[in-house]
Structure 1
């Protein structure tokens, strides 16, 4: 389903490389196989308060031509995080996996592969070609599934679906037959977007618009009753080649200057055809000359005008966009050749008024990028008006909710403007339309199962040669993968697991897929297909432009997993997901995620190293640090749940990162070291050990949906210190519930500990700023209100030990003195006396020297990044690194300036 822009050779080489290298299994691969072999990815039984409730997610099926790209990596990470959390919450979970046959994309790939072998599908025939497509799927189509496994995604791999599986294909045939018999599907001649290269119709919303510099040709059309005063009219057109099919000229009813010409005829040059002038509201009187040539078979607006004014329809192109027979020297020409020849012919006849430059957009095929041709063709269509009404209501009423909420309006606007959907494609690979025809008696009908003969006359039947649009089959994905069929609309799994809970997808298939799933599900099952829809941001390059090979700004998720680990890539990606429409990918955040993973591992290692003589037991809030830590854990659980429930993934990662790194590691572990020493009281040591194990074990549970590998490793290490009834794997553990930790909520302890940390932090930052040894004792005055003073006084021994203070004064206010460094906090103002500790003259000289160096760096990078020549040639990732260097230098310069001011 997703649009891939890799070449065949690139895909094949990538797949071949993956097979040839076959490296020794990584630790992540081994861990993944342990989960899979233990059956943890199938539908879980559920437990606890959510035991009877399902949580089902269906993966947007990737194309079998696809390779894992950044959009997949982001979306799959989001889905896996949601399903892993729901599994730990005790829901009956299942993440439905599968791939899409991708009609045009796969046929194009296989066509190219055959061409490289010197043959074509026409040489081998339809059946043999379809076999080749299935062979393609076996060799290359499963590659992306293996790559999804590499991310640690907990899909149900034992029940993989494919949109051409027999059960799925039967569902497609059932829906087609039902809609046909309910008059929702019909066949007719209409204008469609036609790809002359793929020789198939393309849906309106699959067309890609490309801006190009073209021309506006002004052509003279002689009036049939020409006079010396009015010998001709002048039409302006961007497509002179289609004039061969003109059957009318239109003007705007608002154009008073042309009213006298309405009803008269012009003599069409080159083909000697008389065509009428008429008035129609489609015409913009300000475009060109106000006269518009009307070619009903080659323009949607012209088709509408032709229907309204009963104009003849003349199709001048064949399926490859060559001019058909009957047009003399122009017959057999391509569109471009015909354009050039017709303009030259008008010029020779003195009928070319002028040519102007004209910038406009043209539609191209989303697969081969050939310019599409509006072309009259007999096709199959879905009548959407009876379907889209209910599909709008379930969103308007809030039964289906969008995240971010603005996408609700995009969805409704798309539905409102939706026209009948062309579902037939002139391909061989796909679901063949189940319409059967009798050439003897004229019988025709749709069948789910292939009939043996004509039910009216007994003659042989032939099946329609076209296949269905890929989106027609993929619209059934949420319920066809759960066992739906028309006879039993509440199939066993469907009854207990439908509707699904969440769909995560990209914005570019909002109409193509999301809306159509809603329409088809309401018709087929009477239920919505999903309750919540996440429209995740599009991952752009570091330069803010769409990722592509041609721009050189693409990023390979496989390389990222190799460099940063699957956990590092997952956490780093989610940390960049805000409510914005686009995500400008920043690889530096993955470096931070990898460092975070190392921090988690080191913290776990520290805890494990200090668990000698450990006995399991409940956490105990003995000290202020204990009370603070357990209270912070309670609030973390609340924050994590809130972020998950609102799909605010950047907030989620910030909360987890800040708690684990800043609060647990930097403060609580630091405060625990003295309590874990050999001389510490035994009962306090045990309490501290239990608290460390408890907070660490709860933290890794909260982190597990985002970073499953490292958290599983730590869980296995901690199992020796946990009760025997704990599950074998972390993903089977229960999710931390805020209500369970409500007893730990203590605002007073958080306030008191924050004050304590402020003072310690002020002393540490001052030491770092002036290069003072940690062993140097400090004289410190702290100004604070009475409550904070009282709290600090109770913790005075701990405070002096942690900050190495030999003289501490707690007071209401402090006077600013020379050679005193003052640090303002939220609760305190800490003043450190530096007299005799710092050579201020030497320090100022050092700062001035460093300031000049950093200032030089700022000027250098500023000049570099303002050079247009450099920006146009340098790789996006190099430019991004230079911008980061400039930003870092500017921040450092500001810090140095602040320090110089203090010393001046």
Structure 2
């Protein structure tokens, strides 16, 4: 894709003087967007010009802001989108938002309450318009935040779950399911949210362990001396006894056999209720007798249906008591629990009370205890849909990554209950069912006229997850067979957290398989790619936790605001930190220091490119002839090829963390820490000898290698850190190198074996330089100070030519100068290399305080001798040697070996220092 004349850059930018994320990120994103790099073209797919790659963004709530979970999700999707664009695929990353029924309605109702109004005061039509007005003015702030993170979504295709097109899709599939009997209306026990005043589905309920109470109550007459007419039941919810319509016992429980078929008095209410026999009752639990409240417990509801019991609802929509005819009417359920128990205690009917820890369902949206409640609602019959969703994964039509997460999917999809889809809200997709004056019921599809006068539409709306379940194909124009659907559906991959595997992924699978059931065996023609499943792969990542692995929550005060970190450290730093921790299917921790470290990594890369460009690095067309390369150049190009292959392979396997980690270590440890240092040798040599043709050629080759390596590195890193890589790449490649990394080609692995000789040479350099630097540091020699050096002893296994190159590199990297007239070896460094042992002599007498070094060496020697003596004492103790564990003995042996080496090293060092000051200075060096 190329930029239009209106949006293309005029000329190539210069490299900024310093790395400043705040200055580069927003303008860079605006340039990408204006150039049209994010746009997808389905015609390129349908014509066969390009392979498709498509992702639909999990639609964030219209009320939401970018939180750290979003940031992780979006980063991983953007990594894939950018990588596939660079790999030559036609990429559609489709954005949008969810109308978020409960959350949005609650927000607007709070706004109304603050000015003394309510939705009831406005009426349905005005209230819904009020929500639309809020959405237009304030909703969707997260979309701008997505741009700040760098999301390369196709903004021209942005959708909203209440768009006209998506509403038509909802009506279409509702009517299809309704006409086939897969949507039905029934009276069932549902999860009721007293705060939201609406039904909830099972997956919107979190079961939380709480310390409650188990209270045993006596039902029966007030006066029952022998207890023969009474029965004791145990309950965790005393207040629901006001709605009891029976007591149930196991038919084989002899303790209560005499009461089966009889009635007992329900206290307070004064109603006679039957004792029924039901095999559901566990005779080993409590007293073996349970109270039956069919309208407020799912198990009791089933007992009630089996025994044709009355079902009495004792709660209003806000869970206050109503309709019992007692003084408790109007009380909140928790207040009623206390008051009812107190009344029963006064009547002498409380037999026992104890603390009871048990799981209580809480609304995942409002965090309140839900109320099981008998209600007439709309349901989806999920059995056939879930079976198809299960089989599609087992058959391999959709793969779950990592594979071990498939067990969670099957656990849920193979055990689903019918889905409650109606919500007692005004904001959302209204259920398209109308009721006639004579009890008629009609479901109206899209484009169909509602029935005439006297008909009323169902007041409820659909669960938000109903429309979200259609998201992969409704956003592409379904039920119309659009070019977008033909080109990009099924989508390539779904990236999401494992925590919404049940909420969303399963529903999309069910609806996708149902909507495209006629094409379940795949494409019907080469031009029709529409298949059954909504996505080929589901990539599940974990949750983001704080640096200590704790779940983030406002109560803990450990919630991370990624936008604050983006402003402080840049989007690249936040993205790279998240990607580097994103191991498949597992939770990850995050801390501000780690984001700061990623910013430092970006700065390191920035400085590397500045160094390269400042030294004339160029990006050439085509590959360099390896025969012309020095060992360091061959080594870095070998390591680069391995990094290209590993990064590509890991991205193909969705191993984001390993890919990011590999790039980090290649760039920091190998490229910056070693190759850039090694490149200084030919560059400095050429600068010192401008007339030396050989030196100039070597420097030119190094500049080409340096430019080529950085070009490739920036391409590899771009999907993870798009802003800094774009800022560096465009000046590096020059005006003819390309207009944007977004549309640059992904590096290909050159199929060429690595050069072991080059690797061995660099290993030798690293060992030699590391040991010399360590020795300098041990003697407190400033890193910037040049030290005279002579007496370099070549290993037997290295040729004179190889040793000369090695020595030149080591001298440059360790700031060792030639031996001068007054040179005396004060320090000898011995280093094992691939060809044998090398020794290097240094004269540090002019750069260190000899007397101070002698005093320090004596102190260190004393400590080493003490450690050696202690280790020898233990090893000579037969009692210790016989009784100690093998690992403890080995630990002492290791200490002995190290102490012996330290004594030898320090003794030799004192001898060297003594030689600098005469015999007296070095005498007595064997003790502190």
Shorter-chain TM-score: which interval?
A: 0.7 to 0.9
Q: Whole-Å Cα distance in 2 between the matches of residues 67 and 229 of structure 1?
A: 62
Which residues of 2 match residues 108-123 of structure 1 at below 5 A? 108-123=106-121
Bigger shift: residues 140-149 or 288-297: 288-297
Matching of residue 479 in structure 1 with residue 473 in structure 2: yes
Which residues of 2 match residues 134-283 of structure 1 at below 5 A? 134-222=132-220, 228=226, 230-252=228-250, 257-258=255-256, 261-283=259-281
Superimposed CA distance per residue, residues 70-97 of structure 1 (whole angstroms, 9 cap, x where no aligned partner): 0011111111111000000001101100
Q: Whole-Å Cα distance in 2 between the matches of residues 252 and 231 of structure 1?
A: 18
Which position in structure 2 is the counterpart of 1:491?
482
2:610 maps to which of 595, 605, 608: 605
Which residues of 2 match residues 691-840 of structure 1 at below 5 A? 691-720=705-734, 724=736, 726-738=737-749, 741-743=750-752, 745-772=754-781, 775-777=786-788, 795-799=806-810, 801-803=812-814
With normalisation by structure 1, the TM-score equals 0.84
Superimposed CA distance per residue, residues 588-609 of structure 1 (whole angstroms, 9 cap, x where no aligned partner): 1111111111111111111111
The alpha carbon displacement at 1:694 in A equals 0.8
Superimposed CA distance per residue, residues 194-227 of structure 1 (whole angstroms, 9 cap, x where no aligned partner): 0112110011110133333322111001279967
Answer whether contact 2:617 2:704 (CA < 8 A) is retained: no
Superimposed CA distance per residue, residues 200-256 of structure 1 (whole angstroms, 9 cap, x where no aligned partner): 001111013333332211100127996725342211111111112212223346756
Matching of residue 513 in structure 1 with residue 504 in structure 2: yes
Bigger shift: residues 222-231 or 767-776: 222-231
Q: Whole-Å Cα distance in 1 between the matches of residues 596 and 286 of structure 2?
A: 56
Q: Whole-Å Cα distance in 1 between the matches of residues 515 and 468 of structure 2?
A: 14
Structure with bigger gyration radius: 2
Bigger shift: residues 274-283 or 620-629: 274-283
Which position in structure 1 is the counterpart of 2:370?
372
- After superposition, the CA RMSD in angstroms is 3.3
Superimposed CA distance per residue, residues 351-390 of structure 1 (whole angstroms, 9 cap, x where no aligned partner): 1112212222322222332321100000000000010111
The alpha carbon displacement at 1:567 in A equals 0.7
Answer whether contact 2:513 2:533 (CA < 8 A) is retained: yes
Would the alpha carbon gap of residues 511 and 727 (structure 1) be closer, same or farther in structure 2, given more than 3 Å must change?
A: same
Which position in structure 2 is the counterpart of 1:288?
286
Which position in structure 1 is the counterpart of 2:892?
none
Which position in structure 2 is the counterpart of 1:875?
none
Superimposed CA distance per residue, residues 754-775 of structure 1 (whole angstroms, 9 cap, x where no aligned partner): 2332222222233234323553
Q: Whole-Å Cα distance in 1 between the matches of residues 757 and 34 of structure 2?
A: 48
Secondary structure of the equivalent of 1:619? coil
Secondary structure of the equivalent of 1:387? helix
Matching of residue 34 in structure 1 with residue 34 in structure 2: no
Matching of residue 86 in structure 1 with residue 84 in structure 2: yes
Matching of residue 631 in structure 1 with residue 625 in structure 2: no
Which residues of 2 match residues 374-773 of structure 1 at below 5 A? 374-439=372-437, 441-449=438-446, 451-452=448-449, 454=451, 459-485=453-479, 488=480, 490-526=481-517, 527-579=532-584, 581-611=586-616, 618-621=623-626, 622-676=629-683, 677-678=686-687, 679=689, 681-720=695-734, 724=736, 726-738=737-749, 741-743=750-752, 745-772=754-781
The alpha carbon displacement at 1:807 in A equals 11
Tell me how many residue pairs correspond in the alignment. 815
Q: Whole-Å Cα distance in 1 between the matches of residues 758 and 252 of structure 2?
A: 77
Q: Whole-Å Cα distance in 2 between the matches of residues 617 and 339 of structure 1?
A: 81
Answer whether contact 1:96 1:155 (CA < 8 A) is retained: yes
Which position in structure 1 is the counterpart of 2:856?
843
Q: Whole-Å Cα distance in 2 between the matches of residues 898 and 262 of structure 1?
A: 89
The alpha carbon displacement at 1:799 in A equals 4.3
Q: Whole-Å Cα distance in 2 between the matches of residues 285 and 787 of structure 1?
A: 87
Answer whether contact 1:540 1:583 (CA < 8 A) is retained: yes
Superimposed CA distance per residue, residues 28-64 of structure 1 (whole angstroms, 9 cap, x where no aligned partner): 11111110001111115779x9953111011111111
The alpha carbon displacement at 1:645 in A equals 1.6
Bigger shift: residues 831-840 or 358-367: 831-840
Q: Whole-Å Cα distance in 2 between the matches of residues 565 and 365 of structure 1?
A: 36
Answer whether contact 2:617 2:707 (CA < 8 A) is retained: no
Superimposed CA distance per residue, residues 473-525 of structure 1 (whole angstroms, 9 cap, x where no aligned partner): 1000111111111xx4x421111111111111122211110000001001112
Q: Which runs of 5+ in 1 are unaligned?
A: 1-23, 809-817, 852-895
Which residues of 2 match residues 36-75 of structure 1 at below 5 A? 36-43=33-40, 51-75=49-73
Answer whether contact 2:465 2:504 (CA < 8 A) is retained: yes
Which residues of 2 match residues 848-867 of structure 1 at below 5 A? none
Answer whether contact 1:427 1:467 (CA < 8 A) is retained: yes
The alpha carbon displacement at 1:134 in A equals 1.1
Answer whether contact 2:203 2:503 (CA < 8 A) is retained: yes
Answer whether contact 1:61 1:97 (CA < 8 A) is retained: yes
Would the alpha carbon gap of residues 790 and 273 (structure 1) be closer, same or farther in structure 2, given more than 3 Å must change?
A: farther
Answer whether contact 1:224 1:266 (CA < 8 A) is retained: no
Answer whether contact 2:786 2:816 (CA < 8 A) is retained: no
Secondary structure of the equivalent of 1:296? coil
Superimposed CA distance per residue, residues 773-813 of structure 1 (whole angstroms, 9 cap, x where no aligned partner): 553245788998958999667745544554567999xxxxx
Secondary structure of the equivalent of 2:588? strand
Answer whether contact 1:296 1:303 (CA < 8 A) is retained: yes
Answer whether contact 1:542 1:553 (CA < 8 A) is retained: no
Answer whether contact 2:787 2:842 (CA < 8 A) is retained: no
Secondary structure of the equivalent of 1:505? strand
The alpha carbon displacement at 1:394 in A equals 1.5
Which position in structure 2 is the counterpart of 1:813?
none
Q: Whole-Å Cα distance in 2 between the matches of residues 462 and 777 of structure 1?
A: 98
The alpha carbon displacement at 1:900 in A equals 7.4
Would the alpha carbon gap of residues 293 and 784 (structure 1) be closer, same or farther in structure 2, given more than 3 Å must change?
A: farther
Q: Whole-Å Cα distance in 2 between the matches of residues 511 and 169 of structure 1?
A: 23
Secondary structure of the equivalent of 2:787? coil
Answer whether contact 1:44 1:87 (CA < 8 A) is retained: no
Answer whether contact 2:797 2:834 (CA < 8 A) is retained: no
Q: Whole-Å Cα distance in 1 between the matches of residues 622 and 899 of structure 2?
A: 52
Q: Whole-Å Cα distance in 2 between the matches of residues 499 and 846 of structure 1?
A: 73
Which position in structure 2 is the counterpart of 1:869?
none
Answer whether contact 2:159 2:475 (CA < 8 A) is retained: yes
Would the alpha carbon gap of residues 61 and 845 (structure 1) be closer, same or farther in structure 2, given more than 3 Å must change?
A: farther
